[in-house]
Amino acid sequence: MTLKKISIGADHAGFKLKEKVRIYLQEKGYTVKDLGCFSEERADYPDFGHAVARSLENHESEIGIIICGSGNGINMSANKHVGIRSALCWKPEIAELARQHNDANVLALPARFMEDEQAFKCADIFLNTPFEGGRHADRVNKIDC
């Protein structure tokens, strides 16, 4: 299996988890482009949601991972981009379905509501679950406006 290029970004609330997920994935052999933020100093989640979305739009990465406190704000920001299907996942089963049924290309994680190991499991499943296509493809094709 070919390892995917990943862009990752987070606001201040997601910074610590972003660092842990980034290191975890790099140790597994993934190429991870860190788009910030780079400290726990206040940072606005849209800046990083948009940066990760643009990296996919520009074909710099194949998959994105975004993290903020609840996962909601950064997820909403990324989903403003055409072709971006960001899924807020806090359990591995949700990450699996996001890939299988929705062909999600960005994983949004809620840093304040999950343990590190749970985030690692979500990332592993998200990165290794294929899109099923079929009846799901028809639905996915209706998402963009």
Give pLDDT tens digits for 6-43.
999 999 999 999 999 999 999 999 999 999 999 999 99
- DSSP H or E stretch at residue 110: strand 106-110
What letter represents residue 67's amino acid? I
Tokens 């975890």 belong to residue: 24
101 catalytic per annotation: yes
pTM of the model: 0.97
Catalytic residue among 37, 68, 89, 122: 68
59 catalytic per annotation: no
Catalogue all structural domains in the chain, each as residue range(s) with its CATH number.
Answer: 5-140 (3.40.1400.10)
pLDDT 10s digits, 44-100? 999 999 999 999 999 999 999 999 999 999 999 999 999 999 999 999 999 999 999
